Structure 1
Amino acid sequence: MGLDKPPNRPVKTADTIFGIVEFLLESGGSGVKEIAESQDLAQSTVHSHLATLLDHEYVVKEGTTYRLSLKFLDHGMEIRERLRLTRASQRIIEELSDDTGEVVWVVVEEHGQALYLLKSSGENAVQTRGRVGRRTTMHDIAAGKAILAHLPDSTVDDIIESFGLPERTEKTITEREALYQELKKIRDQGYATNDGETTEKVRAVASAVLFEGEVCGAVGIAGPKHRLTGKKFHDSIPSKILEAVDTIELNLEYW
């Protein structure tokens, strides 16, 4: 299993529309002139594509500014709710966040990146880099490493080739061989840790969720370094996550 390969003959019109959509997402909204300049297109071409997106309700026009509509939210929420992993884990991560007081994430792999699928915040939860729907590299977060540990080596190689191993902090794994050693350790102990590899003052613990012999995601807990210390970081939090994952995997069998 490797990363999905792009088609040999991409459709130019589709490329143009998705380029406009991505720019509107990054900019938060722009006028025709700015969009045309960013995409190296004629303003008349941009206007035609925007008219199509507007007609299908994928953009909203406010004066001379176009922005993406909440129709994308509707699609994303519907897709998420259809996933078996969502239904099997939602209640479990809520119980886990209540128990630990920290933020709990369910993360999945899509197109070689980690995607934050679900979040549940305990009473002491702190804000981290993650947000539901966000995509990020896999090698520097606990949940991403937990997933990588259960993917074929060929897929891991493809992911590294596509996204590299960028350094987030001084503790980030940036060498391929070091990553493979870490993944073996994760398989042996059953969970992954992140000791300041993404953000210096944040630690996390995560374990992969397996279904029918394949990894379908991971559950992770993140919190400030001063709270996730000693036995809590290396024993009690991993134990709670492993228990939660066992329940989720059981739910997947009957959902």
Structure 2
Amino acid sequence: MTKQTAKTTERSLVVIDTIQKLGGATLEELTGELEISRSTIHLHLQTLLEKGYLTKEGAVYHIGLRFLNHGEYARSRKNAYTLAKQTVTELSDRIDEEVEFVVKNDNRGILVHESFHPDSHFPSKERHISTAPSSAGIYYYLHSVATGKAILAELPDERVEAVLDDWGLPRQTAQTITDRDNLLQHLF
């Protein structure tokens, strides 16, 4: 059963997601990308711009820093999330490996904290360089990463089925398990 939602809010979120996906976008690019009228997109852009959720550089709209405040609030509102940050860093230093703290959200995993030891063997993800962007907030399909499989393995069978029904088993890499029965054998 589909829950009732506000179409206007949905459209604003689609505009925001598309701007982020494109790395910034003009009104013309959004009009070409979305099945929403130009005037409706413009109205959403103006509202989001006025409220600080978007910025505009020339003709290009970008995600605004106001989202940073909301993200940091979400990441620090629970004491456990703050404690996890310290634990992730300490564990990464101790074992010389990547450590992530992932939480199930919207039946996917969302990266809340991560830490890489300076000698990490993941050179593309060296977070010890202060200019490197954070991956915090990235969503993962739970079936496609080790942390997600660990989360799924702890859920009751009916909750695992609900996650798989919501998102399916899209292939992320050549090693991604895309067969439901095979995944369930790995989890239980």
Partner of 1:175: 179
**Is this contact kept in 1: 2:100–2:111, CA < 8 A?**
yes
Which of 91, 94, 97 pairs up with 1:99?
Answer: 94
Q: Deviations over 1:129-181 (max 9, x none)?
A: x9221111111211111110111111111111222223344543232222222
Distance in 1, matches of 2:10 and 2:174, equals: 37
Partner of 1:43: 38
Q: Secondary structure at the match of 1:124?
A: coil
Q: Deviations over 1:72-110 (max 9, x none)?
A: 122111110112321222222211111111111111111
Please tell me the root mean square deviation across aligned C-alpha atoms, in Å: 1.9
Partners of 2:108 and 2:139 within 8 A in 1: yes
Structure whose residues are more often strand by fraction: 1
Matched with 2:149 is: 145
- What does residue range 14-29 of structure 1 map to in structure 2 within 5 Å? 14-29=9-24
- Deviation per residue, 1:217-241 (Å, 9 max, x gap): xxxxxxxxxxxxxxxxxxxxxxxxx
> Whole-Å Cα distance in 2 between the matches of residues 66 and 17 of structure 1?
13
Distance 1:15 1:149 in 2: 32
Give the Cα–Cα distance (whole angstroms) in 2 for the partners of residues 172 and 25 of structure 1.
26
1:161 corresponds to 2:157: no
Pick the aligned partner of 2:85 from 78, 85, 90.
90
**Paired residue secondary structure (2:143):** coil
Question: Kindly tell me: are residues 41 and 173 of structure 1, through their superposed partners in 2, closer, same or farther at Cα, counting changes over 3 Å?
Answer: closer
2:104, 2:110 within 8 Å by CA — same for their partners in 1? yes
Q: How many residues align?
A: 178
Contact 1:90 1:118 (C-alpha < 8 Å) held by counterparts: yes
2:75 touches 2:82 (CA, 8 Å); kept in 1? Answer: no
> What stretches of structure 2 of length at least 5 have no aligned partner?
126-133
Partner of 1:200: none
Measured in 2, the distance between the counterparts of 1:56 and 1:30 equals 18
Residue of structure 2 equivalent to 1:7: 3
Distance 2:31 2:175 in 1: 41
Q: Percent identity?
A: 33
For residue 48 of structure 2, the aligned residue among 49, 53, 56 is 53
Q: Which has the larger radius of gyration?
A: 1
Runs of 4+ in 1 over 6 A off after TM superposition: none
Distance in 2 of aligned mates of 1:82 and 1:13: 28
Q: Is the 8 A contact 2:100 2:114 kept in 1?
A: yes
Alpha-carbon contact 1:30-1:66 (below 8 Å) kept = yes
Q: Partner amino acid for 1:74? A: N
Query: Post-superposition shift, 1:6?
Result: 4.8
Q: What do the CA deviations read for 1:165-218 (whole angstroms, capped 9, x no partner)?
A: 23344543232222222212xxxxxxxxxxxxxxxxxxxxxxxxxxxxxxxxxx
Counterpart position of 2:129: none
Higher relative contact order (CA 8 A, sep 6+): 1
Q: Which residue of 2 aligns with 1:78?
A: 73
2:128 alignment counterpart: none
Q: For the Cα contact (< 8 Å) 2:75–2:81, is it kept in 1?
A: yes
What SS does the corresponding residue of 1:106 show, helix, strand or coil? strand
Contact 1:102 1:121 in 2 (8 A): yes
Q: 1:176 to 1:40 in 2, by over 3 A?
A: closer
